[in-house]
């Protein structure tokens, strides 16, 4: 049975590496210049979702675990951050830290239960647990139910950078995004990442070599949860509210769509996927097309025809191969 992670590029020749470096520089430049051409709040939203998708992809693309409950970490962190910043007057950086810590905690709890099952069971278990969290948020007092925590002050970063300026806010979000991606990159290219890879390849062999597979999976799960939380926490500061939308299972589905569209197991794919989904959502809002139908169709078409996603298809395409990107199979 072909693994969901089969489309991961395994090796890159010299050209591919430099092409990738080139893309990276151009991409960075574009991101730095973007607010001069696009609406900043839109870009910030895009970056938050891109980081969320990258974090999700860390789990799916590199350990083969499909979580259907990542909204819990994204939306949960948003609540924690919004609450501490608004009610306790925390500065933004501290609020974000609280959000990440909260998401990490949720990741430990959910991961502890969920990693007991694999494959689609894992997906169903995470879905159920996140639904539980959704009901918790709905009923808990501090989330203010369907109103959400509103009017969260953006405040001053480190006490002196005024985040109410959308330029400042944008570069802060960009900074967080880049740091997040760097963390993910380091994580998957580390000794730990190597063990993750071997577990994905042959789990019982990894056990027989003495690795407590569950702990490694949990490690990856928690790391992914923490980064998803980082994305959610920043989003709460950007939009100045945290609401139920971000903890629904539809949100968990959305991040899967972003990853799938961008390319499972590619480092930058989710950025493209997130860009596409966010743009599409915005566009559909003012069009005649009903959003869910289009999203659903995109999902189906993607699974049937472009399983590798935008970046994956590019790597596997004629040009990609010419440039030296190599695929398994």
Partner 1 sequence: DGASDGKVKIGILNDQSGVYADFGGKSSVEAAKMAAEDFGGKVLGVPIEIVDADHQNKPDIASNIARQWYDTQQVDAIMELTTSSVALAVQAVAKEKKKIDIVTGAATTDLTGKACSPYGFHWAYDTHALAVGTGGALVKQGGDTWFFLTADYAFGYSLEQQTSDFVKSSGGTVVGSVRHPLSTQDFSSFLLQAQSSGAKVIGLANAGLDTANAIKQAAEFGITQGGQHLAALLFTLAEVHGLGLEAAQGLTLTEGYYWNRDDESRKFGKRFFERTGKMPNMIHAGTYSAVTQYLKAVQKAGTDDTEAVAKELHSMPVDDVFGRGGTVGANGRMIHDMYLLQVKKPAESKEPWDYFNVLATIPGKEAYIDPAKSGCDLVK
Partner 2 sequence: MTMIFGIPVQALLGQLLIGLINGSFYALLSLGLAIIFGLLRVINFAHGALYMLGAFVAYLLLAYAGIGYWPSLILAPIIVGLLGAVVERLFLRRLYDLDPLYGLLFTFGMALTIEGTFRYLYGSSGQPYATPPALAGGANLGFMFLPIYRGWVVVMSLIICVGTWLLIEKTKLGAYLRAATENTILVQAFGVNVPVLLTLTYALGAAIAAFAGVLAAPIYQVSPLMGSNIIIVVFAVVVVGGMGSIMGAIITGYLLGIAEGLTKVFYPEASNIVIFVIMAIVLLIRPAGLFGRDA
Partner 3 sequence: MAVSAMPTEDKPRVVLSARGLRRDFGGFTAVRNVDLDVYDASVHALIGPNGAGKTTVFNLLTKFLQPTDGTIKLNGVDITKTPPDKVARMGLVRSFQISAVFPHLTVRDNVRVALQRPNNLATQFWRPMSALDRLNERAEQLLASVGLTKEQDQLAADLSYGRKRVLEIATTLALDPKVLLLDEPMAGMGQEDVSVVSGIIREVARSRAVLMVEHNLSVVADICAYVTVLQRGEILAEGDYATVSADPRVREAYMGTEEG
Binding site for partner 1 (CB under 8 A): 39, 41-42, 45, 135, 138-139, 144-148, 150-151, 235, 239-241, 243-245, 281-282, 284-286, 290-292
- Rounded to 5 degrees, what angle do the CA atoms 277, 281, 284 make? 130
Residue keyed to tokens 């430990």: 108
As measured in angstroms, the least distance from the Cβ of 307 to partner 2 is: 7
Q: Which helix (H) or strand (E) holds 327?
A: strand 325-327
State the binding partner of 198 from partner 2, partner 1, partner 3, none, CB within 5 to 8 A by kind: partner 3
Write phi, then psi, for 9 (nearest 5 degrees).
-65, 130
Pick from 166, 168, 198, 245 the residue near partner 3 by CB under 8 A: 198
Longest dimension (CA), the chain: 57
CA nearest to 94, candidates 237, 241, 243, 244: 237
Work out whether strand 161-162 and strand 325-327 pair parallel, antiparallel, or are unpaired. unpaired
Contact pattern for partner 3 over residues 21 through 60, marking x by CB under 8 A: ----------------------------------------
Contact (CB, 8 A) for 82 and 29? no
18 binds, among partner 2, partner 3, partner 1, none (CB under 5 to 8 A by kind): none
DSSP track, 23-36? HHHHHHHHHHHGGG
Sketch the per residue contact string, 112 through 131, with partner 2: x for CB under 8 A, - otherwise.
-xx-xxxxxx-xxx-xxx-x
Would you count residue 202 as binding partner 3 (CB under 8 A)? yes
Is 297 among the residues that bind partner 2 (CB under 8 A)? yes
Q: Do residues 177 and 51 make contact, with C-beta atoms less than 8 angstroms apart? A: yes
Contact 258/53 with Cβ under 8 angstroms? yes
Q: For partner 2, give the closer residue by CB, 97 or 302.
A: 302
- CA distances from residue 97 to 25, 85, 91, 226, 232 in whole angstroms, order as listed: 29, 11, 10, 10, 11
Q: Which of 17, 195, 218, 298 binds partner 3 (CB under 8 A)?
A: 195
Partner interacting with residue 245 (select from partner 1, partner 3, partner 2, none; CB below 5-8 Å by kind) = partner 1
Residue 12 within binding range of partner 2, rule CB under 8 A:
no
Give 3-state DSSP helix, strand, coil % of the chain, rounded to 5.
75, 5, 25
The interface partner of residue 28, options being partner 3, partner 2, partner 1, none and the CB cut-off 5 to 8 Å by kind, is none
In angstroms, the CA 211 to CA 191 distance is 13
Among the listed ranges 14-22, 150-158, 170-178, 296-304, the one in contact with partner 2 (CB under 8 A) is 296-304
**Cβ within 8 Å of residue 13, ≥6 positions away:** 324, 326
Please select the residue that binds partner 3; options are 150, 164, 165, 190, rule is CB under 8 A: 190
Phi and psi torsions of 265, nearest 5° = 80, 10
Site residues (CB under 8 A) for partner 2, limited to 209-268:
249, 253, 256, 260
Range in contact with partner 2 (rule: CB under 8 A) among 2-10, 225-233, 235-243, 313-321: 2-10
Contact positions vs partner 2 (CB under 8 A)? 1-4, 6, 64, 66, 113-114, 116-121, 123-125, 127-129, 131-132, 135-136, 139, 249, 253, 256, 260, 290-300, 302-304, 307
- For partner 3, the binding residues (CB under 8 A) are 10, 186-187, 189-195, 197-198, 201-202, 204-213, 219, 223, 328
């Amino acid at each position: 049975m072909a693994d969901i992670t089969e489309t991961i590029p395994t090796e890159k020749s010299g050209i591919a590496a430099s092409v990738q470096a080139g893309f990276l520089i151009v991409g960075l430049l574009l991101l730095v210049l973007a607010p001069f051409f696009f609406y900043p709040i839109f870009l910030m939203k895009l970056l938050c979702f891109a980081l969320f998708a990258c974090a999700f992809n860390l789990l799916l693309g590199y350990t083969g675990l499909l979580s259907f409950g990542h909204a819990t970490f994204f939306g949960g962190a948003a609540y924690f951050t919004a609450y501490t910043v608004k009610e306790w007057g925390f500065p933004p950086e501290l609020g974000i830290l609280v959000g990440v810590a909260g998401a990490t905690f949720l990741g430990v709890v959910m991961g502890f239960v969920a990693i007991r099952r694999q494959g689609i069971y894992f997906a169903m278990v995470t879905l159920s647990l996140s639904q539980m969290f959704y009901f918790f948020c709905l009923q808990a007092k501090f989330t203010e139910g369907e109103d959400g925590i509103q009017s969260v002050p953006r405040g001053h970063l480190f006490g002196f950078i005024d985040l109410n300026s959308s330029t400042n806010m944008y570069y802060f979000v960009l900074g967080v995004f880049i740091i997040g991606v760097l963390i993910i990159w380091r994580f998957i290219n580390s000794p730990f990442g190597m063990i993750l890879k071997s577990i994905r390849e042959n789990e019982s062999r990894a056990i027989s070599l003495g690795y407590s597979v569950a702990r490694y999976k949990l490690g990856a799960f928690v790391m992914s949860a923490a980064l998803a939380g980082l994305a959610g926490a920043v989003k709460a500061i950007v939009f100045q509210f945290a609401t139920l939308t971000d903890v629904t299972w539809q949100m968990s589905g959305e991040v899967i769509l972003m990853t799938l569209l961008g390319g499972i197991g590619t480092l930058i794919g989710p950025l493209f996927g997130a860009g596409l989904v966010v743009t599409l959502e915005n566009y559909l809002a003012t069009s005649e097309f009903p959003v869910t139908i289009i999203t659903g169709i995109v999902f189906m078409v993607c699974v049937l025809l472009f399983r590798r996603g935008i970046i994956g298809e590019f790597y596997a395409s004629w040009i990609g191969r010419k440039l030296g990107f190599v695929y398994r199979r």
